[in-house]
Structure 1
Amino acid sequence: MFAVCINYCKFAMIRSLTSQEIKWRLLLILHLVGLVGLSFSPSRPFFAQLSFFNLFITAALIFHEVWLSSRHPWRVLIWLFSLGMAVEILGVQTGFPFGEYSYGTVLGPRLAGVSVIIGLNWFYLVVSSVALLRWLGVVNIWLTVVMASLILTAVDFLIEPVAINLYYWQWEAVSVPLSNYIAWFVVSLPLVYLYQRFTPHPPVLFPAKVLLLQVVFFSVLQFFL
């Protein structure tokens, strides 16, 4: 009888959680496990290989938020993914506009030298940066375009040292070239604009929290690499 009561309480607790709370707790667990696994040298190669799944799940959960908020969720995903992949392929093949760099095999399957997950990365970072600004009360479309692009560039600046140490990608130069950050800002401008055009009432709380979670994740991880 006691076991039945316990199971019923657990079921009732799960039922009482909202969709966002369930997704948020899932991402918290994934990032915490990933942080621990990547922080120690013996387990780092294995957990680095799992980064693809972490990024994919994150993108999928954010797409669910877009699905609930946008009249054209698939159009949003396809446009942001395709444009992000196109500029990355151009960058890998020609060195323009980011600089000379190449992707390793850690992030999973590649298309024309670019890890496919990077297209989804562009998608959910654009969605999350706009969400953060909406959460902070910024609603003007043009101000959002500029500020979200600055946020995306700042996030890339934060991610770069970690990504290089985990062999997600490598630069030909000794350090990350300035052209990379300029390109991130310029490329982000039309992506943020398009997203707002397709999603006049974008999701706010969950994507904003995901972006802050990623900032904390990569900030802490830098101390262990």
Structure 2
Amino acid sequence: PTLGPKLWEVPIIIGVNWFILAYLTGVAFQKIPNDYYAAFLGATAMTAIDYILEPVAVSLDFWYWKFDIIPVGNYLGWFFIAYLIHLIFRKAKFEKQNPIALPLLLTLILFFTILNFTVVE
């Protein structure tokens, strides 16, 4: 309930989060000429961000994990879904230049890193 309204038992804000992270990481690696390598880098970045975000999310009661252990499958799932999203991002025809994408991405990473030291028990 902490994350608000749900669609099919998934908080809507989770979809918004995925969209934002995929866009920011997609723009960050858009100059990489190889689509598969760029998708790999984007998926790796998104999974790393999830690694930073998970302890904060648990501490703030966004969700919980059985036995308070974040399963490896969570990160594998993040990676593979993010990889597919990044491949779609690469193939989509729209303007991918955005001067604030990288600073915003770095700000999000810094924000959740700081929260790891302040709210995680």
**Unpaired segments ≥5 residues, structure 1:** 1-104
- Larger relative helix fraction: 1
Q: Which residue does 2:100 correspond to in 1?
A: 206
Residue in structure 1 matched with residue 118 of structure 2 by the alignment: 224
1:140 deviation in Å?
Answer: 2.2
Offset of residue 147 of structure 1: 0.7
2:9 pairs with 1:108: no
Residue 28 (structure 2) pairs with residue 132 (structure 1): yes
Amino acid of the structure 2 residue aligned with 1:144: A
Q: Deviations along 1:159-191, whole A, 9 cap, x unmatched?
A: 000010001111123210001111111111111
Correspondence list, 1:1-225, <5 A: 105-134=1-30, 137-199=31-93, 201-225=95-119
Residue type matched to 2:113 in 1? S
Instruction: Write the distance in 1 (CA, Å) between the matches of 2:114 and 2:105.
Output: 14
**TM-score, normalised on structure 1?**
0.50
- Structure 2 portions without partners, runs of 5+: none
TM-score normalised according to structure 2 size: 0.90
Q: Which has the larger radius of gyration?
A: 1
Q: Deviations over 1:12-70 (max 9, x none)?
A: xxxxxxxxxxxxxxxxxxxxxxxxxxxxxxxxxxxxxxxxxxxxxxxxxxxxxxxxxxx
Aligned length: 119
Secondary structure at the aligned position of 1:169 is classed as: coil
Task: Deviation per CA, 1:116-173: give whole Å up to 9, x if none.
Answer: 0111111111110112223xx4232111111100001000000000010001111123
Q: Is the 8 A contact 1:196 1:202 kept in 2?
A: no
State percent identity of aligned pairs: 29
Secondary structure of 1:156's partner? helix
Q: Secondary structure at the match of 2:64?
A: strand
